[in-house]
């Protein structure tokens, strides 16, 4: 048998050689860590469906942000559970709510940390939907000024990036206009442009108490079967002024991530969502998988597909493991 003169196994022979020719390399700077803030002080309660993730009062959220920054993780995304809910979600722009207070406190304690504010209404409305209702339907256009209030409140508190996750039509233009009118032209918009109506969100809805009280969100989030629609959403949001485009979830949509990366020249983010995280944790707890290898492989696949930014609950573990590998 005659071999080709090029033997690919030569470049896989040792760990040092494999490292030299590695095409995709994870860095701590790739990650954004999501945090959940709640009312009260000295609160740290583990979320049952998300092991090692916690509901934190503002004081403990600040301590976590300081630890993350020391580890080299440059950014947090702040989600919150409010003290009150109503039909329009007015606590979402209340400057005394946990999210606004946490953004202010983290900005003061860790000035160089990148802070992302999640802009949506589902955690704040009494009905659990992402906007103002007209009967049993979300009224798209009446929701836009409410989302604008949320974005401005978070940016005024010190958020570098606001990330609308509601999937209302026209929201990027509405938020950009509101931010600019308030003198917040430098606030970045990271759009959840490609957000699918996914079953992978289950644990998050437990964590954020945001499950809809009737129906579901398939009337505004995307059909998991659709790719061309994703490109349409991306184009619309870019035309309206989105600075960063996000695909959510990540693992089951890496084909979409790759298509988005090929389609645009702006940064691409992915959200490695709660269900993806919980499945790994559950399998690892049963001894069925090697958690370290699985997590690093998954995160590498997201970056390889084209993600510049990875929002993930695995960030702290991943950085620890990456440093261990580098120290060998």
Ordered domains of the chain (ranges, CATH): 23-327 (3.20.20.70)
Helix axes 291-305, 315-327, angle to 10 degrees: 100
Q: What is the pLDDT of residue 46?
A: 94
Q: What is the pLDDT of residue 240?
A: 97
Long-range CB contacts (< 8 A, 24+ apart) of 323-328? 328/15
As a three-state string, the secondary structure of 92-133 is: HHCCCCHHHHHHHHHHHHCCCCEEEEEECCCCCECCCCCCCE
Residue numbers annotated as active site: 195, 248
What is the pLDDT of the chain when averaged over all its residues? 91
CB atoms near residue 315 (< 10 Å): 25
What pTM was computed for the model? 0.93
**What's the CA angle centered on 309, arms 105 and 237, to 5 degrees?**
95
Tell me the per-residue pLDDT of 136-155, one tens digit each, with 9 for 90 and over.
777 888 889 999 999 999 99
The region of weakest confidence among 57-66, 118-127, 179-188, 247-256 is: 118-127
Instruction: Report yes or no: 272 and 314 within 8 Å, Cβ to Cβ.
Output: yes
């Amino acid at each position: 048998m005659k071999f080709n003169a090029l033997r690919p196994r030569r470049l896989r022979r040792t760990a040092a050689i494999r490292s030299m020719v590695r095409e995709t390399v994870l860095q701590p700077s790739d990650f954004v860590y999501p945090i959940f803030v709640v009312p009260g002080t000295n609160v740290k309660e583990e979320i049952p469906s998300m092991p090692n993730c916690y509901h934190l009062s503002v004081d403990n959220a600040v301590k976590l942000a300081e630890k993350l920054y020391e580890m080299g993780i440059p950014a947090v995304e702040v989600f919150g559970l409010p003290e009150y809910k109503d039909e329009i979600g007015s606590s979402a722009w209340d400057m005394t709510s946990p999210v606004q207070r946490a953004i202010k406190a983290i900005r003061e304690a860790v000035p160089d940390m990148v802070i992302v504010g999640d802009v949506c209404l589902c955690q704040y409305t009494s009905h659990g939907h992402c906007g103002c209702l007209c009967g049993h339907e979300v009224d798209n256009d009446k929701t836009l000024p409410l989302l604008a209030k949320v974005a401005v409140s978070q940016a005024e508190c010190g958020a570098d990036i606001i990330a609308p996750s509601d999937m209302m039509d026209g929201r990027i233009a509405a938020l950009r206009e509101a931010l600019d009118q308030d003198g917040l032209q430098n606030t970045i918009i990271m759009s959840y442009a490609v957000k699918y109506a996914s079953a992978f969100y289950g644990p998050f809805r437990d964590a954020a108490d945001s499950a809809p009280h009737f129906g579901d969100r398939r009337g505004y989030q995307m059909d998991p079967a659709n790719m061309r629609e994703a490109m349409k959403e991306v184009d619309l949001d870019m035309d309206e002024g989105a600075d960063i485009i996000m695909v959510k979830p990540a693992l089951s949509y890496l084909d979409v991530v790759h298509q988005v990366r090929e389609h645009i020249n702006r940064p691409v983010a992915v959200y490695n969502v709660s269900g993806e995280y919980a499945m790994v944790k559950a399998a690892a707890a049963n001894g069925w998988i090697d958690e370290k290898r699985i997590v690093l492989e998954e995160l590498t696949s997201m970056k390889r597909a084209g993600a510049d930014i990875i929002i993930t609950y695995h960030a702290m573990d991943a950085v620890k493991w990456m440093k261990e590998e580098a120290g060998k």
